[in-house]
Amino acid sequence: MPARRGAPPSRTAVPRPRPAPRSYFRPGCRVLTGVTGEVVRDVLCGEFPPLLLREEVYATAALAGAAAYLGLRGAGAPDPAAITVAAGLVLALRLAAIFRDLHLPRLRRVPG
């Protein structure tokens, strides 16, 4: 028996899978992984881990990279370009901190 012509495509076609929605889950996980690695290192070394309140540029660089990625993706940049720019920013910040001995301002407690 020949196929009927004029049948609605929704009844004859195989449904397409829906594309995954864009989310901020992946960049957030990357920042969380970087920060958690710092905390584990500090705990194993016996130091108190204050995370973003350190002089060294660790989580701040990861946070700047995540913000750059999200900003570029929000502006419509393609994913490979956004990843490359964000990773380059993180690498540049870390290398500048290491080789130029750059630190974040130290927070001091006010007595009283």
pLDDT in tens, 59-105: 788 889 989 999 999 999 999 999 999 999 999 998 988 888 877 76
Residue 46: the pLDDT is 78
How far apart CA 89 and CA 95 sit, in angstroms, is 10
- Can you say whether the dihedral through the CA atoms of 26, 28, 32, 34 is positive or negative? positive
Which residue, chain included where needed, has tokens 């864009």?
22
How far apart CA 101 and CA 19 sit, in angstroms, is 45
- Per-residue pLDDT reduced to its tens digit, 30-66: 777 877 877 787 778 877 655 555 567 777 888 899 8
pTM of the model: 0.54
Q: Which residue, among 74, 57, 61, 70, has the nearest Cα to 28 in the 3D structure?
A: 70
Cα 71 off chain centre by: 11
